[in-house]
Amino acid sequence: MLNLGEPLLTLAELVDIIHFAEAGPVDPEAKVDIAFVEGSITTPDELQRIQRVRANSRYLITIGACATAGGIQALRNHANTSEWMAAIYAQPDFIETLDTSTAIAEHVRVDFELWGCPINSHQIVAVVRALLFGVAPLQEHDSLCLECKRQGNVCVLVTQQQPCMGPVTQTGCGALCPKFGRACYACYGPKENSNSDSLSQRFQGFGLLPDEIADKFLLINNAAPAFAAAGQKAKEIDHD
Amino acid sequence: MTERRDISIKVPVLARVEGEGALDLEIRDGKIEELKLRIFEPPRLFEKFLEGRSYDEVADIVARICGICPVAYQMSAVHAIEQVFECDPGPWVHEMRRLLYCGEWLESHGLHVHLLALPDFFGFNSVAEMAKQFPDEVKRGLALQAIGNEIVRFLGGRSVHPIGVRVGGFYKAPAAADAATLLQKVQQQLAHAESLLRWSAALDLPSSKQDFVSVAIRQADEYPMNEGRIVSDAGHMLVSENFERHFKEHQAPHSTALHCHLDGQPYLVGPLARLNLNHDVLPDAVKSLLHECGIVFPSQNMFHSIIARSVEIYYGLFEAARILEDYVVPDVPYVDVIPRAGIGFGCTEAPRGLLWHRYELDDAGRIVQATIVPPTSQNQARIEEDLYNELLAFGLHNDDAALRLRAEMVIRNYDPCISCSTHFLDLRVKRI
């Protein structure tokens, strides 16, 4: 958001920014119309705090992969967090952290979700504009492939057998990776009704090992339900 | 007489990279009995996330460590991995990586100077408030931040968590026409950067002189970004493989953050340290502008950090223009790599200072073990030492609000990852 440039000043004219610690105003307990929540729930304190944010806000909107799906931090959910902590910190007891990194929606009702790691500034401005006009923000959940085709990019999956996650990933980034000739790595999270089985099979056909296929699903949005399930299923390909 | 002051910094943000910090200050008989900067740092589990992952996923994963300096993490990572693979990507990639780094310095320093440090310096609560009184200065800052973002987008596709970097080079080479357009925009901003530099040189900064050791990378022929040896003004000169012989990370008893010491002592990394050790390799045009503004390095005044950032903003644009003027589209923007087992080290200059990575790979190029030492943990011990000296010099008789403001200014000079948050100290004072 601090990356908006001059539109940040325009935005500050349109709405009263009540609490935005990185930019200045601090008033964490204020009643507000819109609360943007960034980051996942990873500490005991945040468990309490998100309840107050919900109670104080008319609309609660999550921004980014961490708040919306637990983020890359959710990789810890399947690991032995205390063992990991002990490997990094001499005194892990000093560190207050939960064993899991979870999405906001697992704790409170969320009105709108802005997916992506990172989200782009346009998503924020668009949602604020829509709410100011009194209309529901438009949420796009198409697959990345649609945007990629509209741009006329050469398909890296079909022509180069690259393990591209585009078919199961929602649009929003502008199909950047295929445009750069590389496979999408799903930083915008799962599209609606994604056919992960079919894509996994295709990746197997390219010669990817089960763990390698699982890694594709279990990255930035590893805890998004559709990806978590697909990743788990891919790991089990071995046992069939 | 015993007077106890507990100054606590509470940062009520629900976020990932920002920390929560507190400053415990105990004053007895006009002396500082105890000073502890406690920073809550969310656990750095990234080193664990990397284990088992393929070398070609590392740049995308480590980018997520920081939303402001993802390029730095990508650069240290790819250099370390290329060392294992004994791969030299050649001069085109070398130049483009410098250009990418220029973009990140511009974006990060532009943000810090205008959105974080200056509102603080002039006593505004936010940049929006400051923009009403200093509209031109704020717009200039946003424009400099924007050109940095644009440079990162040129090579990386987007400015946050860019996607263009791969082990061996870049996924795609930008078109020559795009380079020409960008060059024009960069040249237009040079005047902005020059006026920022003159302006910051004229700021009425506190005078302060402290003994501290500066650490940065250095090479004879260019201002440091991606390559060079680790040097200090205490006489160190190390290849990055030997970092761990002199630099040791440990968890301070009162803190959850890891502190790093050089031979057991605090030290400084970041823009001021870079300039202290490398001002002589700046291009002549930059040197003469510094001379004209009366800016002299080395400096042992940490408040000169804002000037150092302005110098690097100017240099970043100057260097970006130089690289873009010679831009040619290569046949292939990367070299092919052959995965193999081994240990590699990468040490580059993030906007906030030295960023050291070490990776152990297996023969398929999968990560066996990763260690990442970011600049903020290196500066932590130095910040404590600085606070101790600076608050003493400032005068402990000052009231708590004044002490807190001074402490904030001291901390902000280092632009630590918690700097966004420490602007908003929730001051609680207990007197016993």
* Residue B329: pLDDT over 60: yes
- pLDDT single digits (tens) B333-390: 999 999 999 999 999 999 999 999 999 999 999 999 999 888 888 898 899 899 999 9
CA distance, residue B202 to nearest chain A CA (Å) = 25
Assembly ipTM: 0.93
Interface probe with A: pick from B16, B54, B167, B329, most Cβ of A within 10 Å? B16
* Residue B411: pLDDT over 60: yes
Q: Are B300 and B210 in contact (CB under 8 A)?
A: yes
* Residue B256: pLDDT over 70: no
Using CB atoms within 10 Å of the CB of residue A217, give its burial: 0 to 12 exposed, 13 to 18 middle, 19+ buried.
buried
Whether residue B127 lies within 8 A of chain A, CB to CB, comes out as yes
Instruction: Label residue B17 by pLDDT band (50, 70, 90).
Output: very low
φ, ψ of residue B295 in degrees (nearest 5)? -90, 125
Q: What pLDDT shows up at residue A175?
A: 96
Q: Are A48 and A67 in contact (CB under 8 A)?
A: no
* A75–B57 CB contact, under 8 Å: no
- H/E segment holding residue B225: none
Checking B245-249 for CB contacts under 8 A at 24+ apart, the result is B247/B356, B247/B373, B247/B378, B249/B373, B249/B377
Residue B196 token pair: 């920022």
* B166–A182 CB contact, under 8 Å: yes
Q: What pLDDT shows up at residue A20?
A: 77
Cα B14 from Cα A47, distance rounded (Å): 10
Q: What pLDDT shows up at residue B122?
A: 83
- H/E segment holding residue B142: helix B135-156
Cα B308 from Cα B301, distance rounded (Å): 11
Cα A96 from Cα B274, distance rounded (Å): 35
Among candidate residues B427, B431, B413, B395, the one with its CA nearest the CA of residue B32? B395
Q: Where are the domains of chain B?
A: 1-44+215-291+374-432, 88-208+301-336
Whether residue A185 lies within 8 A of chain B, CB to CB, comes out as yes
| Chain A from 130 to 149: CB within 8 A of any B CB | none
* Residue B1: pLDDT over 80: no
Among candidate residues B379, B381, B404, the one with its CA nearest the CA of residue B391? B404
Among candidate residues B381, B357, B382, the one with its CA nearest the CA of residue B370? B357
- pLDDT single digits (tens) B217-233: 999 999 999 999 999 99
CATH number of B88-208+301-336: 1.10.645.10
Query: Using CB atoms, which residue from B15, B149, B157 is nearest to A176?
Result: B157
- pLDDT single digits (tens) B58-73: 999 999 988 889 999 9
Cα B392 from Cα B30, distance rounded (Å): 9
Question: CB-hemisphere CA count at 13 Å for B229?
Answer: 12
Give the mean pLDDT of B65-89.
95
Q: Are B24 and B7 in contact (CB under 8 A)?
A: yes
Interface probe with B: pick from A60, A81, A100, A182, most Cβ of B within 10 Å? A182
Q: Are B23 and B388 in contact (CB under 8 A)?
A: no
- Contact list, A208 vs chain B (CB under 8 Å): none
Cα B341 from Cα B163, distance rounded (Å): 25
CATH architecture entry for A7-132:
3-Layer(aba) Sandwich (3.40)
Spatial strand order in the sheet of B20-28: B2-7, B20-28, B31-40
The CA–CA distances, whole Å, from B411 to A75, A137, B265 equal 32, 40, 18
Cα A42 from Cα A55, distance rounded (Å): 20
Among candidate residues B65, B360, B398, B301, the one with its CA nearest the CA of residue A220? B65
Helix, strand, or coil (residue B408): helix
Cα B99 from Cα B234, distance rounded (Å): 30
Q: Which residues of chain A are modeled with pLDDT < 70?
A: 1-2, 5, 21-24, 26, 88-96, 238-240
Cα A205 from Cα A198, distance rounded (Å): 11
Cα B131 from Cα B329, distance rounded (Å): 41
Interface probe with A: pick from B9, B14, B153, B254, most Cβ of A within 10 Å? B14
Residue B190 token pair: 């040079």
Q: Where are the domains of chain A?
A: 7-132, 144-239
Q: What is the DSSP secondary structure assignment for residue A235, as one 8-state letter? A: H
Poorest-pLDDT segment among A69-73, B55-59, B256-260, B390-394: B256-260
Cα B81 from Cα B217, distance rounded (Å): 19
Q: What pLDDT shows up at residue B38?
A: 67
